[in-house]
Amino acid sequence: MTSLSPDPRRALKAVGLLLLAIICFDLMSVLVRLLSARYSALELSAYRNVLGVIPSLALLVATGELRLRGSNLRIEKWPLAVVRGLAVAVAQLCFYSALGVLELATVSALGQTNAMFVVILSVVLLGERVGPWRIVALVVGFAGAIWIIRPGSEAFSIHALLPVGAAVCYAFSMISVRFFGSGTSNALLYLYASVAAAVGAILMAAVTTEFTPLQSAADAGLIFVMSILGGTGVLFMMLAYRMGEPSLLAPFGYFGLISAFVIGWLFFGEAPVDTLFPGVLLVVGAGALIIWRENRRRA
């Protein structure tokens, strides 16, 4: 991985790539919502994992980072690399299932709990110590998530737990990278995770459901565009975090809350203000507190 540069123009490009990634994910979510009326979340997840790897693999091959000519494709702790991919497949299944029944902004808000699960898994898997600031952030964040989910009320839906499940799986995928040595190729790690996610999604779909025949050429085109948008979003995010400091980029992740709200309103007439507030403020505040504390620790 290349070293990070303090060049302001480079940082600006990184922020721009991250925002483009968020827009790609939002547009992908719109297509998932439209297609979920005719295809199951398992099917859409399988299509996404198989086709969505195209943009990133193309870049890895073009830049020479992914060299398959006679190279050793086996990496250290390869079973863990496969498990990471399976976790991503489960996360996408939860995410796509949620998109079919919940407002886009609600899914985005509950997905922000990812930062809190990263902290929890850092303690459980890595043995990191959690100080009082991060404990406060965890309590506040989960209070916000519960406020949005509203268990026990008439507004409660079991589907509201799906974005939280996706956040847990994505957090595991992020934390488990720490178990690999610095000499492990990023390209091969990405390849293992992508292939495992694709195989896992296909197996889950094959075991639990029958694939619905594509009903039209338009549907085939939408599925392809949905998959490419998802893969391109991952590519932009990967490039952004290679180009800019995570502490710089993390706050811009909350742009996804605004964009999801706006896109949900434009495409589906959704405006779940009563559902999101004030819980979303607690979730965002908790994430911001975690980011601030991490910056202080590094300083």
Secondary structure string (H, E, C) spanning 238-253: HHHHHHCCHHHHHHHH
Look at the block and give the residue holding tokens 């994992």.
49
Per-residue exposure over 137-174, b if at least 16 CB sit within 10 Å of its own CB, e if not: bbebbbebbebbbeeeeeeeeebbbbbbbbbbbbbbbb
Number of domains in the chain: 1
Give first-to-last CA distance, the chain, whole Å.
Answer: 22
For 53-65, the pLDDT digits (tens) are 888 777 767 767 6
Amino acid 6 reads: P
The residue among 126 and 223 whose pLDDT is bigger is 223
- Between the alpha carbon of residue 208 and those of residues 41, 252, 257, 270, 276, the distances in Å are 11, 38, 32, 31, 33
Structural domain includes residue 145: yes
Judged against a pLDDT cut of 90, whether residue 29 lies above it is answered with yes
Q: Which two tokens stand for residue 71?
A: 């190279």
Residues 276 and 111: their CA atoms lie apart, in Å, by 12
Which amino acid makes up residue 294? E
- Whether 48 is covered by a domain: the verdict is yes
Q: 112: closest CA among 22, 13, 235, 237? A: 22
The answer to the question of residue 1 being in a domain is no
> With a threshold of 0.75, does the pTM exceed it?
yes
Percent residues over pLDDT 90 in the chain? 16
Segment 155-180, tens digit of pLDDT: 567 888 899 999 899 889 878 887 88
- Phi, psi of 129, deg, nearest 5: -90, 140
C-alpha pair distances (Å), 102 with each of 119, 145, 153: 26, 15, 16
- Looking at the domain assignment, is residue 130 inside a domain? yes
- pLDDT tens per residue, range 197-255: 888 888 887 887 778 889 999 999 999 999 999 888 887 887 787 676 665 676 777 78
For residue 135, being part of any structural domain is answered with yes
Which residues neighbour 142 within 8 Å (Cβ) at sequence distance 6 or greater? 113, 116, 286
* pLDDT computed for residue 1 by the predictor: 42
Q: In this prediction, what percent of the chain has a pLDDT beyond 70?
A: 86
Q: Which domain holds residue 144?
A: 8-298
Q: Please give the Cα distance from 68 to 4 (Å, whole number).
A: 27
Residue 3 lies in a domain: no
Provide, for the chain, the percentages of residues in helix, strand and coil under a 3-state DSSP scheme, each rounded to the nearest 5. 75, 0, 25
Residue 125 tokens, joined: 């898997």
Segment 30-34 shows an average pLDDT of 94
Distance CA 102, CA 41 (A): 13
In a domain, 202, yes or no: yes
In a domain, 2, yes or no: no
Kindly list the distances between the CA atom of residue 31 and the CA atoms of 8, 125, 208, 228, 229, in Å, as whole numbers in the listed order.
35, 36, 23, 11, 10
